[in-house]
Every structure is written in C-alpha cells, then in structure tokens.
Amino acid sequence: MRRASPIIALLIAVFAAGLLAAGLPAPGAAAPGGLLNTIHRRGALIVGVKADFPPFGYIDERGQRVGFDVDLAHEVASLLLGDSSKVKLKTVTSANRIPMLRANEVDAVMASMTITKERKQMIDFTVPYFCSGHLILVKAANTSINNFTDLNGRRVSTVQGATGDTVTRILAPRAERIIFDQNPEAVLALKERRTEAFVQDDVLLLGFAKQDPSLKVVGWPPRMPGPYGVGVRKGDKDLLGALNVALARIRSSGMYDRMVAKWFGDVAARLLPPAKCPPDLRL
C-alpha cells in the first residue's frame, strides 16, 4: 500500500528531472540562495517530527527517536547535505506542527501530516510519500462498535489538530468528542473506559492494537483517505523543490521500499492501496 501509484511515481520522476535541469544542487553542494542556502551554511536541516505516533515518529524503550519519518529525515539530510547525521529533530504535535513551521522553528515538518485543502492554504506540501485512512480503536471485548455510525451518542477520543477529530465530527456528528493533546492520552482514556473509542489514522491504530491485545481495530475499510506530505513554509520554493528531488531519489534507489518493509511490513497489506488515495483529504 505504501508504494506510490505508477502515475504518482511518473510525476515525481518528471518533476525531479525538471528541477535538476533547472540547477538544483547535487547532494552536499552549496545552494545559490534562499532557505536552502541557509541550511547549507548552518550545516543542518531542522525537521519537526512526532514523538507519539508509532511507527512514524516515537520514542523507543532506549529513549531514542525512531520511526519512518525519522528515517526519512535522515535520508533527506544525506541527499541535501551529504551526511545523514546533519539533521536536527524537534518534537511537534498534530496541533503545533504548522504553527512551529510558520514561526520558523523548523525548516520542514515530516510528521504524518495529511495533505488537506485547508492546510494547503497555510503551508506548501511536497509530493505525497504515504497514504492513510481512518479507523476506530476499541476495547477487544466491545461488540457494539463496528463502524463510524456506531460512534453516535458515545464518548470518542480524538487528538487536537489531527484529521481524526474532523473525520469523527463528519462521520459521527452526534458523537461526544473528547479531545486530547497526544495520542497516548487518547489511548489511555479508552483503556480506562473514560471513552469508548479512539479515531485516528489506520496505521497508528493497528500499531496500538498489535502492542496491546486488549484493544482491536474496527471500521473497515479505512474511511476518508488522504496522503501524507512534507510541509514547508509558503515561499520556500528552493527547499520544496529540493525535497521533491530527494523523495524521488529515495524512491528510485529502493530505499523507500526498504523503509516500508522495516516499519510497515506486517500491516501494509491491510491498508489502503495507493490508487484509492486522492491528492488531498476531502474534508
């Protein structure tokens, strides 16, 4: 599921070729100006990643940042700066990732951020690098919630700034949404029976259910799919172009498939195929 469709892959390749022909820097080379030049002079790419969203970005048992987006940030730094260690990671949440980006606290956001029309009015996105829909996490013994309609009249965990909150409001308008700041808080409320369900991105919920047999995922197939993209500030066209080239190279080199196998191999078959992912989430 995590591979782009042939059409998207072709568009990436064509776009990358055009950018390279236009004179974007080779990996490790100095950029002529703009934010990309600032990044080269600084010697590090500052990226916002999540710490509560496995397997995209989280803190492992050793206290280390890990995840698909974390690996992606290092791969991009390798291509832009010639060294995968030349990246500084800052923790963002669903609610503050766009404000932090717009406040110049990070250069880019790689934080399982779904591309939406509303967000595109505030920031720019790279070509999509992932596709995700929305499912429901419930207690394993729960037999009364099987789809989004069943959420009406019930207390549902959501996360502030996440698309799962909006999706719940649209698909279950009579649900009582209990909004948390972090995903672990939303899961804990479910486990403590303060809520009866948690709505979020499919791959996150499948990961939680895999880790805890007292939970299960319902609501198949995933609803309201949308692509993830890397977010940059409007006007930072040099960085946007370089990121699109980097994403194309990561895909063409086979690194993307290796990252998919590493982080999603056991659940990828259950997720949405790329062909069913629109260019942005239609809220």
Kindly list the distances between the CA atom of residue 192 and the CA atoms of 114, 157, 188, 197, 199, in Å, as whole numbers in the listed order: 29, 12, 6, 11, 16
| Residue 111 binned pLDDT confidence (cut-offs 50, 70, 90) | very high
Rounded Cα distance between 147 and 233, Å, is: 37
Question: By residue range, what is the domain housing residue 188?
Answer: 133-225
Task: Indicate whether 221 and 236 sit together in one domain.
Answer: no
Nearest to 52 by CA among 103, 20, 21, 95: 95
**Could you tell me if 118 and 191 lie in one domain?**
no
Where does a domain end: 225, 240, 261? 225
Within this chain, do residues 37 and 68 fall inside the same structural domain, yes or no? yes
The structural domain count of the chain equals 2
- Asked if 123 and 234 sit in the same domain, the reply is yes
The whole model's pTM is what?
0.85
State residue 165's pLDDT score: 98
Backbone dihedral angles phi then psi of residue 64, each to the nearest 5 degrees: -100, 145
Query: Are the C-beta atoms of 246 and 75 separated by less than 8 Å?
Result: yes
**120 pLDDT tier (thresholds 50, 70, 90):** very high
Q: Is residue 138 located within the same domain as residue 124?
A: no
In a domain, 283, yes or no: no
Q: Is residue 281 part of a domain?
A: no
What are the strands of the beta sheet with 155-159, ordered from one edge?
A: 176-180, 155-159, 197-201, 130-139, 215-228
Same domain, 192 and 255: no
